[in-house]
């Protein structure tokens, strides 16, 4: 399996609880391509670094990694 970084995003929320819910939702979802492709692949969002706080808002950076056969 080869692991590739496909994209990234920064999640932003007003409260730590809201940010936690959004991060968990992204982490728990798995993306799979199994039909019609030469390579079988799957990918997940993962946290990149720790939490950041600026003023009243919380931030978490995430990266989408994908494994291909």
pLDDT string in tens for the chain (69-residue length): 676 767 889 999 999 999 999 999 988 887 766 665 555 567 888 898 899 999 999 999 999 887 766
Cβ atoms 67, 43 nearer than 8 A? yes
Structure confidence at residue 1 (pLDDT): 64
Q: Can you tell me the distance from the alpha carbon of 43 to that of 40, in angstroms, rounded to the nearest whole number?
A: 11
Structure confidence at residue 7 (pLDDT): 85
Domain containing 20 equals 2-68
Please give the tally of structural domains in the chain.
1
Dihedral angle sign, alpha carbons of residues 42, 46, 48, 52? positive
């Amino acid at each position: 399996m080869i692991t590739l970084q496909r994209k990234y995003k920064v999640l932003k929320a007003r409260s730590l609880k809201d940010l936690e819910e959004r991060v968990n939702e992204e982490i728990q979802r798995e993306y799979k391509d199994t039909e019609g492709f030469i390579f079988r692949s799957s990918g997940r969002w993962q946290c990149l670094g720790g939490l950041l706080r600026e003023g009243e808002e919380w931030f978490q950076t995430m990266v989408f990694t994908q494994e291909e056969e």
